[in-house]
């Protein structure tokens, strides 16, 4: 099968690309190598993929001309490319153009593919809002520009499905961590602080936040479980994450135990739009996709530590 992955040089996209290539699929990717976080990390991911024979195009989907570079004959699209997170350095225009305009441009390309079997939008639990503990049927209440624009992107994709223009689904991911995690994310930052005697920037109240910390390998299995289930998935939304729930403090404890050290904190004011609780309700994914996440927090953090030490 010929598969296109957008945002292929990023954290999750690069893992999905590797997995699908190992399964015998022909994988092609596109990435704009944004400087939202160090470009050299994405270039390192890209080099790993290219060494395995995966073609990567450097182009920006916010520009409609980018779709002219995309290949013909694509059967599956996994759309990861987005402006992530709720960083103060990201403007509303960043979220709008990367998450909405880029998605619409990609759809205009997808609609011309007679070979396309399924367009898989990669969404986020941030679509639900400050508390993400619900089944897919609940009305979303996003509380950040990130969540709002990711919901808009999701609806653009599902709109095309409702109009019978293409088969499409959306997967809402929960608190993903593991090797290649972005430097601004929790566990990479904790490992960096613990190993290099740095102070961790702690937003007020965040230690009590609850999260469905889900290892990237379990996320990859959930994402790729849609393949071959086009009729089941078309028009649907699935939560992908673990049902296990941890506080941020438990995440800190896991890193400190692994490193046999104590991490010091710099206390910061609360961050607007930060989710208070995420707990993946995966009953639908279990039933229809046979999704069953297995990796414990301790196992996942140990895997991430091995990767971090090799950076």
Active-site residue list? 146
CB atoms within 10 A of CB 3: 23
The full DSSP string for 64-129 is: GGGGGGSPS---EEEE-----S--TT--HHHHIIIIIIHHHHHHHHHTT-TT--EEEEEEEGGGT-
Say whether 201 sits in a helix, a strand or coil.
strand
Cβ burial, residue 233 (10 Å; 0-12/13-18/19+): buried
How big is the chain, counted in residues?
311
Q: Residue written as tokens 């960083």?
A: 87
CA gap 163, 159 in Å, rounded: 6
Q: Where are the alpha helices (DSSP H) in the chain?
A: 11-22, 39-51, 92-95, 102-110, 145-162, 186-196, 216-224, 230-233, 248-259, 283-289, 297-309
């Amino acid at each position: 099968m010929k598969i296109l992955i957008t945002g292929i040089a990023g954290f999750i996209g690069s893992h999905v690309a590797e997995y699908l290539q190992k399964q015998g699929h022909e994988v092609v990717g596109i990435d704009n190598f944004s400087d939202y976080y160090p470009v050299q990390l994405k270039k390192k991911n890209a080099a790993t993929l290219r060494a395995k024979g995966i073609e990567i195009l450097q182009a920006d989907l916010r520009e409609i001309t980018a779709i002219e570079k995309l290949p013909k004959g694509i059967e599956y699209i996994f759309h990861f490319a987005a402006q992530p997170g709720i960083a103060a350095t990201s403007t509303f225009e960043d979220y709008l153009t990367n998450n909405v305009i880029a998605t619409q441009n990609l759809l205009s390309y997808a609609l011309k593919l007679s070979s396309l079997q399924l367009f898989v939008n990669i969404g986020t639990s941030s679509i639900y809002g400050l508390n993400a503990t619900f089944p897919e049927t609940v009305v979303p209440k996003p509380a950040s520009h990130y969540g709002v624009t990711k919901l808009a992107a999701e609806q653009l994709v599902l709109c095309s499905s409702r109009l019978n223009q293409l088969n499409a689904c959306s997967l809402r991911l929960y608190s993903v961590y593991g090797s290649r995690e972005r430097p601004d994310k929790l566990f990479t930052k904790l490992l960096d602080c613990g190993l290099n005697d740095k102070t961790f920037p702690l937003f007020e109240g965040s230690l009590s936040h609850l999260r469905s910390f889900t290892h990237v390998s379990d996320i990859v299995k959930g994402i790729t479980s849609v393949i071959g289930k086009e009729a089941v998935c078309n028009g649907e939304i699935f939560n992908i994450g673990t049902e296990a729930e941890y506080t941020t403090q438990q995440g800190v404890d896991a890193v400190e135990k692994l490193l046999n050290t104590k991490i010091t904190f710099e206390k910061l004011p609360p961050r607007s739009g930060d989710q208070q609780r995420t707990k993946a309700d995966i009953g639908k994914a279990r039933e229809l996709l046979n999704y069953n996440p297995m990796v414990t927090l301790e196992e996942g953090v140990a895997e991430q530590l091995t990767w971090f030490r090799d950076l």
